[in-house]
Amino acid sequence: MKKLFTLTIMLILTVHVSAQKFDFKYKGEVLANGSTLSINAETDMFGELACETNPSAAPENGLIVSGKNGAYISGTAHLAILEHTFKAKTVQWCMGGSCESMKSVTELDKTFEGSAVQTMFDAFTIRAEGYLLAKLDVTVSGETQSLYIEFSNGQHSGVHSLQTTEECANVYDLSGRLVMANANASVRQSLRPGIYTIKSGNKARKVLIK
């Protein structure tokens, strides 16, 4: 009986430790780990084209990092711009009480705390067609989740899922460096998360590894 009781306690503790600690939420809906949030350009209050994760002053109407069941959380966040083709006067990321320009950098780190932390990633005064694709990694107490954010003004990134029809292909990173040569689909499954170009013969496509 004592042994059964001990096993039960251990099981409860294991479930508690492995339980998810936070969610990405957008307009009140939970976003799955590794999913993509797509936002099209709209005219903002100044009459300019903009893409915003939080266009409203109300936090629940935009993107937030939310502690499970309203729990208070603290952690770190890393935002990386993977692709960016449109011209925007301002690109900024606000989280944890501070805003940073991403006009001249492609990666930033922040710390945050709270039960519902606004994640404001914005591109203001967009003057040309194009798109922006970014990856947000959030870590809370050892748990890391990722969210891809795509802004679009008439164009999209053209990034496909990992699954391709080519049996074997060469894989390149965004800098054009060869990562894998003549790799089949099962081998490509081992790629680290990111965006790659897969070339097979005269065909090439970009793939998103989650």
The pLDDT tens digits for 23-50 are 999 999 999 988 889 999 999 988 999 9
SS3 state of residue 18: helix
How do the residues of the chain divide into helix, strand and coil, expressed in percent and rounded to 5? 15, 55, 30
pTM above 0.95, yes or no: no
Residue 19 has pLDDT above 90, yes or no: no
The pLDDT tens digits for 131-140 are 999 999 999 9
Q: To the nearest whole percent, how much of the chain has pLDDT over 90?
A: 49
